[in-house]
Structure 1
Amino acid sequence: MLLGCALLGACERQPSPTSASSAEAPGAERGPAGTAPFAFAELEVAELQARMARGELDSRTLTRAYLDRIAAIDHAGPTLRAVIELNPDALDEADVRDAERAAGRPRGPLHGIPVLLKDNIDATPMANSAGSLALAGHRPARDAFLVRRLRDAGAVLLGKTNLSEWANFRSSRSTSGWSARGGQTRNPYVLDRSPCGSSSGSAVAVAASLAAVAIGTETDGSILCPAAVNGLVGIKPTVGLVSRDGIIPIAASQDTAGPMARSVADAAVLLAAMAGPDPADPATGGTGRPPPVDYVVHLRADGLHGARIGILREHGVDAQPDVDAAFERAIGTLQAAGATVVEARIATAGEWSDDEFTVLLHEFRDGLERYLDSRQAPVRDLPAIVAFNHDHAAQELPWFGQELLERAAATPGLDDPAYRRARDRARRLAREQGLEAALRDGRLDALVAPTVGPAWPIDPVNGDNFTGAGYGVAAVAGTPSITVPMGDSHGLPLGIVFLGPAWSEGRLIELAYAFERLSAARAAPRFLATVSIPAPE
């Protein structure tokens, strides 16, 4: 399960598109056929900051350029449908950041950088809907804690991104990247292929240079899978590193927000801004939580030298020649960088699956209803959402049902002994007896596996043709994981995932950064219509 109609969600103050900032500039890259070159395609946060520091660029110009890019290829052109709503105050926010810079008060490496947020995160003045029409008019009165941190760091909120509706916790045969509010998000590498989910829009937007960076959320794969199939770096932090306050939840045991970026460096900058203790989320103040870290200091080119890496060949991804070949090349890169690689395995792999599902069903209803009530949402409980979908079936249920919502609505609550047993058993099997045992027994810095197979064709009738993944153990264990591009299959990106113990984000960033620099596997999307089969000679 991937946890983790074209209604734009615009309002009368939404910035209108212009073409001025799309003019060709030195180094500009071509966009999709029929569109103008884009001056800021593929540029990292550090380069954008350097240009602003030299006075060659300001935040308003950059923000305007991304708005034009969204108009040109997201709402028109190939019609990616990655952005579900624009922030009507984006240009005003950029002006404030430019004034602060002019006064000598830049706030840090994110100052003036436009950021997109998944549409399950509270951010004024925009709606927060989880892609559902039931919450299309829900405009929270205050920002999520992580959004306040981003504003404090100087980021400009560009808008909200589409997602798999209810973070893909609605049906067992859903289509990743589809929501009733936002329509179907499309993969910019091959447009008829899945963007995966549930952070589909965040991944597609960054891959297509609709923003510098974006925020996703994950319960089990919702950052890592879309990051991998869209050629990105995605970080799923330790549960408790980033506050969940103001995020529409699935399960408190596993939920977290995390950065999605085109490079490890950009992801590290974004994670440093997001992370921090929050009294409203007790998990962020738990025992063992490290003090605040500037993850940029972990961007070490020699990060793999002397590391011990466990190779998970029983990784959960179905056999696929291109994936296997890319993984073997990645192992060679690890060794060439000075890492020792050893065979490893998760002894309890898959044994937690039934318990995880029980936990998600119970915690979803409890967490969602707490959120809806605390934010004074237009609907206040899960049965009301189920009823809304029945009443608006033509818009909400045209392709697949809502059996997961219905099952969650029937759960007895968090005092249920069966839930408590499942919660404790799932965490023990995935963490103490699973991931941590493998790391300890092999004296390993991290485990690696293919993140997921290549993106499959979008199929609203049959749903996702998911081919397995290598990240599930970290999701259930509540421990960190990072995916980095490692190659491609006929133009479809492939990722490698690094898995570590709780609070090891810094060490994983070192490993991932060194691998990224040596492998140089990321390629920009080409917006192909489909994967072409060569004609016979």
Structure 2
Amino acid sequence: MFRRAAKTVSAILLAATALGSSAVHAQDSVATYLARIKALDKAGPKINAVIALNPDAAKAEAAAKAVTGPLAGKVILVKDNVETADPMPTTAGSLLLKDNRAGRDAPFMLGLRAAGVVVLGKTNLSEWANMRSGQSSSGWSAVGGQTRNPHALDRSPCGSSSGSGAAIAAGMAWAAIGSETDGSITCPASLNGIVGFKPTVGMISRTHVVPISHSQDTVGPMTTSVRDAALMLTAMAGSDPADPATAEANAHKTDFAAGLAASSLKGVRLGVLRKAVGSNPKVIALFDKALADLKGAGAVLVDIDYIPPAEMGRDEYTVLLYELRTDLAAYLQSVPSSSFKDMPPARTLADAIAFNKAHPEELKWFGQDSFEEAEAMTDTAVYKKARENSLRLAGVDGIDKLLADNRVSFLIAPTAPPAWAIDLVTGDHGIDVGMGNLAAIAGYPHLTVPMGAVEGLPMGLSFMGTKWDDKRVLEAGAAYERARTVAVPKPSLKRWGE
């Protein structure tokens, strides 16, 4: 599938260096993307974003010619914690699941296929969606190794949808699927200089997605424009009887791309979360330019002096630990025994912990302290109290109260800091920028749109709204995207500073 003339591959590599992802999207085809993956992911800068390729992609592309609509023939990559019926395993980055071929589509994938989308392959991720250890390096998995940021190869792509973010930044597909529990769509989108949308929890089914938390997990699109994210969401959204959180999704499903081109910020009041900006003067200056663009587009900016209470994050962690133990066991029990070749079937978190202990390559760079904490988190009363409190603090007494008290439609802030250096020895070391945990814990929509760069390292601007306000959040982001005057950086495909 990688049989391309050397001259063609070299031309793609040169074009990629000069033009970024726009160099390939004009020729949106399986063959073009495969050549680009060969040139940039498996050779050249070795971004290491793609963990598996779909041998049936060309066949699917041919079938897509019979479909009409804006997604017909569009080539996507899927994060490798999402099951697809294609002949590829779903590993969550763990060697435990390296042969996990259940042969089934996550329900939202059926909507994408009906719209004519072509699945090219799976993307690398932070193993187990970055929930194995607090000392992990974002973008590393035992199956896929370390993903690199196309804007600075020695800098983090963030996690856990690291491969999806890096692949789209480098033009390896038209769009990608990511998943988020807290920051795992929005952070890699921000650090890789692309658009990422975390929808309202319950807008898209999570069935057949390797879980962390049914309270906070969701999948979402990662793209190069807000419109593309909206097109993807339209095909992905909908109720699923197997996922109770989606009971209201059909009532809120719409054409999310309709009207985006005419959306306006004129007179829209935006709550500016000043305490989420941090103290770096270059980050502050970039955010101020975004605010000037928003104001120039007619938005009314309202400063909000707010810091989330520490107990919100504390209780969120309790919830994630408890639900990881129960939700992962439920998923593993659904995996066919044939997926566990040469080993006893793993059916519980304890089985995953034992597997890691028996396979030192899993624990080479960091341990499994979070897994072990989750296995010990069995107090249901403590869990229920933590869930009630964290949800209240982030939702009713968090985003909802901030919107109402300040008479604003959305909250805005920088999404995440500039990319930090990859450090497999001691883990991630990002500075404290952003406040996306509010939307993550509350289960509310969160969109990040590129707003420029600090020293060549991309940063995104966050738009957060209340529950089921997905369409209006996308409209606000699209209006900012048109009003933005700061240049969006193109991937250097080099180490930072070179």
TM-score (norm 2): 0.94
Q: Does 1:433 align with 2:397?
A: yes
Q: How many Å apart are 1:24 and its aligned residue?
A: 9.6
Q: Please give the residue correspondences for 1:171-190 in structure 2 after superposition, counting only pairs within 5 Å.
A: 171-190=133-152
Corresponding position of 1:307: 268
Structure 1 residues 403 and 95: CA distance shift in structure 2, 3 A: same
Match of 2:378 among 385, 405, 412: 412
Moved more, 162-171 or 502-511: 502-511
Corresponding position of 1:399: 365
Structure 1 residues 39 and 233: CA distance shift in structure 2, 3 A: closer
Match of 1:364 among 321, 324, 328: 324
Corresponding position of 1:297: 258
Residue type of the alignment partner of 1:501: T
Moved more, 338-347 or 507-516: 338-347
Tell whether the 8 Å contact from 2:419 to 2:457 is kept in structure 1 after alignment.
yes
Q: How many Å apart are 1:91 and its aligned residue?
A: 0.7
Q: Does 1:322 align with 2:307?
A: no
Tell whether the 8 Å contact from 1:82 to 1:204 is kept in structure 2 after alignment.
yes
Q: Distance in 2 between matches of 1:293 and 1:242?
A: 13
Corresponding position of 1:219: 181
Residue type of the alignment partner of 1:322: K
Corresponding position of 1:496: 461
Task: Flag structure 1 segments of 5+ consecutive residues without an equivalent.
Answer: 1-14, 49-56, 101-105, 533-537
Residue type of the alignment partner of 1:94: E
SS at match of 1:166: helix
Q: How many Å apart are 1:291 and its aligned residue?
A: 3.4
Residue type of the alignment partner of 1:507: R
Q: Does 1:423 align with 2:390?
A: no
Q: Distance in 1 between matches of 2:63 and 2:428?
A: 43
Q: Does 1:97 align with 2:64?
A: yes
Q: Distance in 2 between matches of 1:350 and 1:184?
A: 32
Q: Please give the residue correspondences for 1:126-525 in structure 2 after superposition, counting only pairs within 5 Å.
A: 126-286=88-248, 290-315=251-276, 317-346=277-306, 348-376=308-336, 378=340, 379-393=346-360, 395-412=361-378, 416-468=380-432, 469-519=434-484, 521-525=487-491
Residue type of the alignment partner of 1:290: A
Structure 1 residues 191 and 24: CA distance shift in structure 2, 3 A: closer
What do the CA deviations read for 1:174-222 (whole angstroms, capped 9, x no partner)? 0000000000000000100000010000000000000010000000000
Tell whether the 8 Å contact from 1:29 to 1:38 is kept in structure 2 after alignment.
no
Q: How many Å apart are 1:138 and its aligned residue?
A: 0.7
Q: How many Å apart are 1:290 and its aligned residue?
A: 3.4
Q: Distance in 2 between matches of 1:270 and 1:24?
A: 32
Q: Distance in 2 between matches of 1:22 and 1:212?
A: 20
Tell whether the 8 Å contact from 1:141 to 1:375 is kept in structure 2 after alignment.
no
What do the CA deviations read for 1:432-482 (whole angstroms, capped 9, x no partner)? 001100001111110100111100000111100022232110000100010
What do the CA deviations read for 1:8-48 (whole angstroms, capped 9, x no partner)? xxxxxxx33323994799x9972249xxx9996263xxxx6
Q: Does 1:67 align with 2:34?
A: yes
Tell whether the 8 Å contact from 1:289 to 1:503 is kept in structure 2 after alignment.
no
Structure 1 residues 303 and 224: CA distance shift in structure 2, 3 A: same
Q: How many Å apart are 1:97 and its aligned residue?
A: 1.4
Tell whether the 8 Å contact from 1:346 to 1:434 is kept in structure 2 after alignment.
no
Q: Distance in 1 between matches of 2:316 and 2:186?
A: 18
Q: Distance in 2 between matches of 1:345 and 1:374?
A: 46
Q: Does 1:108 align with 2:69?
A: yes
Tell whether the 8 Å contact from 1:306 to 1:339 is kept in structure 2 after alignment.
yes
Q: Distance in 2 between matches of 1:260 and 1:19?
A: 30
Residue type of the alignment partner of 1:90: A
Tell whether the 8 Å contact from 1:190 to 1:528 is kept in structure 2 after alignment.
yes
Tell whether the 8 Å contact from 1:24 to 1:38 is kept in structure 2 after alignment.
no
Q: How many Å apart are 1:517 and its aligned residue?
A: 1.2
Q: Distance in 2 between matches of 1:304 and 1:319?
A: 28
Q: Distance in 2 between matches of 1:198 and 1:41?
A: 26
What do the CA deviations read for 1:214-265 (whole angstroms, capped 9, x no partner)? 0000000000000001001100100000110110000010000000011111
Structure 1 residues 506 and 392: CA distance shift in structure 2, 3 A: same
SS at match of 1:314: helix
Q: Distance in 1 between matches of 2:114 and 2:347?
A: 31
Tell whether the 8 Å contact from 2:453 to 2:489 is kept in structure 1 after alignment.
no
Q: Distance in 1 between matches of 2:310 and 2:300?
A: 27
Instruction: Number of aligned residue pairs: give it.
Output: 488
SS at match of 2:356: helix
Structure 1 residues 281 and 107: CA distance shift in structure 2, 3 A: farther
Corresponding position of 1:7: none
Residue type of the alignment partner of 1:529: R
Tell whether the 8 Å contact from 1:242 to 1:257 is kept in structure 2 after alignment.
yes
TM-score (norm 1): 0.87
What do the CA deviations read for 1:355-382 (whole angstroms, capped 9, x no partner)? 0000000001111111111122532111
Task: Flag structure 2 segments of 5+ consecutive residues without an equivalent.
Answer: 341-345
Q: Distance in 2 between matches of 1:475 and 1:206?
A: 23
Q: Distance in 1 between matches of 2:6 and 2:383?
A: 57
SS at match of 1:41: helix
Q: Does 1:16 align with 2:39?
A: no
Tell whether the 8 Å contact from 1:302 to 1:337 is kept in structure 2 after alignment.
no
Q: Distance in 2 between matches of 1:340 and 1:280?
A: 42
Q: How many Å apart are 1:488 and its aligned residue?
A: 0.6
